[in-house]
Amino acid sequence: MPFYSLQRDIEFDCSYFPFPILPHPTLTILIHTHAIPVPKTITTWTWLFNSPSSPLSTVKNPSQLAGYSNAITEERVSWADVKTHTTHLSTALVKKYGLKKGDTVALFSPNTIWYPVAMLGVNRVAAVVAGASPAYNVEEMTYALKTASAKFLFTPSSMDVAAAAAKNAGIAKDRVFLLEGGDEGVYNDEGDVGDGEGRWGEGAGGGV
């Protein structure tokens, strides 16, 4: 069933801008309404990566596709890499850690290039993602985990808060994963991906 934006086209007259955008005196920008077919019988992951609509199916060189980049470290995950990492991650979560369709995975994280990898990896097996503010303290995070009935927890940092909140919410220690880096006593990604492909993200921790 196609999805249509309910908003009308927006027109900007750039002659009113206080700085030049193009050498032309005026520039009209139109944002058009497009019909986006949204399938109802496949996951978002399948639609994005393994369907005729996927950019990976329509471009000759997938490496030219945009991805996610860390502006500070310049670390980059291409769109093709996202598919690879999410496949490895979801496989490990299911085969090694028992993630099932409908289970909730909490993401206790700020913006990071590994956030969409974790989110789409969970989506690939029709599990549920529950986001949580990285500013939460132990009490707030405990409440968020209990309210969402989360069975797994991912965080790139804030491990002290995450570990304590997970314990309060009854989440086992081996179900708490680091998205990035490593921490003593916490599962990391050193060759521990369940499908034999090595790390699911170079430099991204996570017990899988």
Q: How confident is the model over 74-99, as pLDDT tens digits?
A: 888 999 999 999 999 999 999 999 99
In the predicted model, is pLDDT for residue 150 greater than 90? Answer: yes
Q: Domain containing 167 — which CATH number?
A: 3.40.50.980
Domain assignment present for residue 197? The answer is no
Query: Within a 10 A sphere around the Cβ of 207, how many other Cβ atoms?
Result: 22
Dist. CA 142–CA 191, nearest whole Å: 30
Q: Are residues 32 and 133 in the same domain?
A: no
Q: 39-74 pLDDT, tens per residue? A: 778 888 888 898 888 888 888 888 778 889 988 888
Q: Is the pTM of this model over 0.85?
A: no
Q: Are residues 83 and 120 in the same domain?
A: yes
Domain assignment present for residue 17? The answer is yes
Q: Are residues 86 and 23 in the same domain?
A: no
> Shortest CA distance to 205 belongs to which of 118, 91, 140, 95?
118
11 is in which domain, residue-wise? 2-38
